[in-house]
Amino acid sequence: MQTTPPTIGVFDSGFGGLTVLRALMERMPQARYAFLGDTARLPYGSKSRRTIARYAAESAQFLVREQGAEFLVIACNTASALALDAIQDAVPVPVLGVIEPGAEAARAASVTGDVLVIATDATVQSHAYAAACRARGLRAIEKACPLLVPLVEEGWIGHPVTAEVIRIYLGELTAEAAACGLNPDVLVLGCTHYPLLRPLLEAAVPAGVRVIDSAQAAAQAAVQLINGASGSHETGQHSPSAQDQLRCFATDSVDKFERLGSRFLGHPVGKVQLVDLGG
Amino acid sequence: MQTTPPTIGVFDSGFGGLTVLRALMERMPQARYAFLGDTARLPYGSKSRRTIARYAAESAQFLVREQGAEFLVIACNTASALALDAIQDAVPVPVLGVIEPGAEAARAASVTGDVLVIATDATVQSHAYAAACRARGLRAIEKACPLLVPLVEEGWIGHPVTAEVIRIYLGELTAEAAACGLNPDVLVLGCTHYPLLRPLLEAAVPAGVRVIDSAQAAAQAAVQLINGASGSHETGQHSPSAQDQLRCFATDSVDKFERLGSRFLGHPVGKVQLVDLGG
- Domains of chain A, by residue range, sit at 7-97+216-274, 99-214
Give the model confidence (pLDDT) of B75-85 as tens digits: 999 899 999 99
**Does B236 score more than 50 pLDDT?**
no
Q: Is the complex ipTM more than 0.90?
A: no
User: Residue A226: helix, strand or coil by DSSP?
Assistant: helix
The fold of the B7-98+217-274 domain, in CATH, is Rossmann fold (3.40.50)
Burial of B160 (0-12, 13-18, 19+ CB in 10 A): exposed
Overall average pLDDT of the A172-176 stretch: 97
- B46 vs B6, higher pLDDT: B6
B47:A161 CB<8 A: no
Q: What percent of chain B has pLDDT over 90?
A: 72
- Closest residue in B to A50 (Cα–Cα): B252
Confidence of residue A68 (pLDDT cuts 50, 70, 90): very high
Name the nearest CA neighbour of B57 among B18, B97, B96, B84. Answer: B84
Name the average pLDDT for chain A: 91
The residues of B annotated as belonging to the active site are 76, 191
User: Which class would CATH give A99-214?
Assistant: alpha beta
Is A155 near chain B, with CB under 8 Å? no
Q: Report the C-alpha gap between B261 and B16 in whole angstroms.
A: 8
Q: How far is B147 from chain A (nearest CA, A)?
A: 6
Confidence of residue B62 (pLDDT cuts 50, 70, 90): very high
Q: How far is B253 from chain A (nearest CA, A)?
A: 6
- Closest residue in B to A122 (Cα–Cα): B253
**Interface list for A 94-123 with B (CB within 8 A):** none
Q: What percent of chain B has pLDDT over 70?
A: 92
Overall average pLDDT of the A60-78 stretch: 96
Confidence of residue A61 (pLDDT cuts 50, 70, 90): very high
Asked if the domains at A7-97+216-274 and A99-214 fall in one CATH topology, the answer is: yes
Confidence of residue B255 (pLDDT cuts 50, 70, 90): confident
Confidence at residue B254, expressed as pLDDT on a 0 to 100 scale: 86
A76 part of the active site: yes
**Does B213 score more than 80 pLDDT?**
yes
Confidence at residue A240, expressed as pLDDT on a 0 to 100 scale: 67
Enter the DSSP assignment of B245.
Answer: H
Give the model confidence (pLDDT) of B164-207 as tens digits: 999 999 999 999 999 999 999 999 999 999 999 999 999 999 99
Give the model confidence (pLDDT) of B129-173 as tens digits: 999 999 999 999 999 999 999 999 899 999 999 999 999 999 999
The answer to whether domain A7-97+216-274 has CATH 3.90.950.20 is no
Q: In sequence order, what DSSP letters do the residues of A228-249 get, joined into one string?
A: HHH---TT-S-PPPHHHHEEEE
